[in-house]
Chains A and B, each alone.
Chain A
Amino acid sequence: MANFKDSWNQFGEGMWRQTPPLFTALGLCPSLAVTTAAINGLVMGLSTTAVLLGTALVTLAIRNIVPREVRIPVYTVVIATLVTVVDLLLSGLVPDVHAVLGLFIPLIVVNCIILGRVEVAFTRLNVSSSIADALGYGLGFTWALTVIGAIREIFAGGTVFGFRVLAEGATAWQIFRTPPGAFFTMGLIVAFIQMLRMRAAKGRSRETARKETVQAA
């Protein structure tokens, strides 16, 4: 049970506490480049999740036989291989998606989230926590990119996942199609979530204070 709790905790780290690229400024390059639409963010996120999960499994299998001195080159080759496999699979099976993401899939290789998780988590934690960590960071990255993509899509053209949510021409701010728009969006999301977190923290401290007062009385 303790094991499950640890794993759940580890999952939460990437999923909400340290979500990249919002709260861990890693993987900014793909985030800025591809999130012009919600679908792009979703697919990019899921591809990254797949590579993270694959890397975690391979790392768990070989971490005891890979000498420390060569771990970085070995894991880099592992990641590059997995990314190329994802690239080929996408281009063979879902060419429409690949047409949009083709340029950015190879960027997963240099996405520091992956090598970072190998170093910090997959080589150190137990099996279930490592997998939880991979899923947490992958899905956290996925929702963050999807939300950024959705907001940019709304502001740039009034659609989400290609469905019209605002009247034609209500929003047509081309800047949201460009990388600066991604920065604006990211900043707004971080600010909004921070606001919620600070409110919650304030509420908690008031609660504590009230209890203390009651106790004192």
Chain B
Amino acid sequence: MSVPQAKNQSLRLIVTLAVTCVLAGGILAAVYGWMNPLIEAQRLAAALSQGFGPIFPDGENYKELELAALPQGVEGPVYEIADGSGNVLGIGFVGASQGFGGPVRMAIGVDPKTQTLVGVRVLEHTETPGLGSPIEELSFLQQLEGKSLSDPFRIGNDVQGLTGATVSSRAVFDGASTMARAVLAEIGLEVAGADMPAGLDEIFPNAAAVTELAVTALPDGVEGPVYEVTDGSGKVLGIGFIGSSAGFGGPVRMAIGVDPNTQTLVGVRVLEHSETPGLGSPIEELSFLEQLEDKALSDPFQIGVDVQGLTAATVSSKAVFDGASKMGRAVLAELGYEVKVAEAAEPAAAPAPAGPEYADAIFEIVGGDASLTAADLWEVRQGDDLIGVATVVTVQGYGGPMDVLAVVDPKAQSLVGVRVLKEKETPGLGSRVKEPGFLGQFVGKTLTDSFKVGDDVDGITMATISAQAVSDAAKQAIELIAQLYAGS
């Protein structure tokens, strides 16, 4: 094949492709131009017949409202809907929120005068048939008719969710309420006290409304605004706010409720945190947070004294205790309430956790006050005294690798304590190696002990392999540290 022919050939390929694409584009543009008005008309017709029609049965005149910006989720246009004689019935729009299976598209009717929902109809959704799909049923949607937009729209509180379909239900409740509020705000009608911040409704279960309080300066950590929480009859239940304190893995964000009259905490809910899973993460559990309910702010909030910390998560626990108590006191002070703080109220500052990832667990073993030197081994010092050396040993358990933290007293060459940090043992059997009853027996063990389950270590029924693995790890740790610190 000669060169000009090759040139012709590639030109031919290029021209063929180009012509194909241009033709395809032209055809598509033509069909789109033909079909698009039909498609748009159908969507509108569907919104009218299945949505606005049933919501505003007397609605006849639809006037498009000019909005500067469409709120998130709202498709637009937003209509002002009036009856035949020109009386405005309300505002209607179509919007979508994220459900379980995809977007939930609904028609929403709002009465701007009373700031209530006139009605909601689900137009399109992809929720699980039989579970989430009943969100489209009238029996479910009717609870929203006439509902005030200043209500919290919380499942189990003022709205009823579908069994087994909380996400789908929430998509309708939150979607309809937030979009309706946003649209009203967009046309200049701010809904008063609309949003009950997350967590506060759990702390104040009878809360019906929140009012923002004026504060001159927000105390450290408090996000603001600070709310006065009232029940249905207008009785003040307490003061609520959101604030953050420094945890082990990052800020711990929590909702805090205080009672200004009794100067107690009403309750605390952890909203966000990045604490170590399994160690610090239980700070979000109710069983941990319940101890703060009705607790006097004048208490010292000291772990082991008047509050119970989480095992191996001192820093995380402190973040909640100190954060809630300090911010609670500060907010009350800011609002002009005199906060009587007991003498012993300010606990001594905790030592900064330097270096090791497992500082919490090490402090837990040695009992609190110490400083750490980061290395492969962590030296734990009290003042200048070397009181322990910590290391993490990975051993093979029954279900997989297991990380065991051991602290050894290098002088006495004995174990100060052992903790299991990570394990994949059988839940209920091998996982019991984490229990203090089992781990406690290693305290004081020395190099001369055999570390054999059934001999000088009590095993765990049905979990000998897991128990022996922890025992082996403890033995390895003490052997390693005794060897390295033999001279000291």
What separation, in Å, do the CA atoms of A174 and B16 have in the docked complex?
Answer: 50
Contact assessment for B17 and A74 in the assembled complex, using a CB-CB cutoff below 8 Å: yes
User: Which residues 84-142 of A have a CB within 8 angstroms of B?
Assistant: 84-85, 88-89, 91-93, 95, 99
Contact assessment for B35 and A89 in the assembled complex, using a CB-CB cutoff below 8 Å: yes
What chain B residues lie within 8 Å of A88 (beta carbons)? 31-32, 35-36, 39
In the assembled complex, how far is the CB of residue B85 from the closest CB belonging to chain A, in whole angstroms? 33
In the assembled complex, how far is the CB of residue B6 from the closest CB belonging to chain A, in whole angstroms? 12
- Indicate whether A67 reaches chain B with its CB closer than 8 angstroms: yes
Number of B residues near A (Cβ < 8 Å) is 22
Interface size class of A (residues with CB under 8 A): 20 to 34
> How many residue pairs bridge A and B at CB < 8 Å?
53
What chain A residues lie within 8 Å of B12 (beta carbons)? 67
- Indicate whether A69 reaches chain B with its CB closer than 8 angstroms: yes
- The stretch among A12-20, A39-47, A75-83, A208-216 that forms the contact with chain B is A75-83
Contact assessment for A69 and B32 in the assembled complex, using a CB-CB cutoff below 8 Å: no
Closest to A90 in B: B35
Which of B13, B20, B38, B39 counts the most chain A CB atoms within 10 A?
A: B20
Contact flag A92-B39 (CB < 8 Å), given A74-B20, A84-B28, A177-B129: yes
- Indicate whether B42 reaches chain A with its CB closer than 8 angstroms: yes
What chain A residues lie within 8 Å of B27 (beta carbons)? 81, 85
What chain B residues lie within 8 Å of A85 (beta carbons)? 27-28, 31
What chain B residues lie within 8 Å of A73 (beta carbons)? 17, 20
What chain B residues lie within 8 Å of A78 (beta carbons)? 20, 24
In the assembled complex, how far is the CB of residue A175 from the closest CB belonging to chain B, in whole angstroms? 12
What chain B residues lie within 8 Å of A99 (beta carbons)? 124
Contact assessment for B21 and A77 in the assembled complex, using a CB-CB cutoff below 8 Å: yes
0/1 interface trace, chain A 135-176, chain B, CB 8 Å (1 if under): 000000000000000000000000000000000000000100
- Indicate whether B437 reaches chain A with its CB closer than 8 angstroms: no
What separation, in Å, do the CA atoms of A3 and B21 have in the docked complex?
Answer: 35
In the assembled complex, how far is the CB of residue B105 from the closest CB belonging to chain A, in whole angstroms? 11
Instruction: Please list the residues of chain A having a beta carbon within 8 angstroms of any beta carbon in chain B.
Output: 65-67, 69-70, 73-74, 77-78, 80-81, 84-85, 88-89, 91-93, 95, 99, 174, 177
Q: List 30 A-B contacts (CB under 8 A).
A: A65-B16, A67-B9, A67-B13, A70-B16, A70-B17, A73-B17, A73-B20, A74-B16, A74-B17, A77-B21, A80-B24, A81-B24, A81-B27, A81-B28, A84-B31, A85-B31, A88-B31, A88-B32, A88-B35, A88-B36, A91-B35, A92-B34, A92-B36, A92-B38, A92-B42, A93-B35, A95-B39, A95-B42, A174-B129, A174-B130
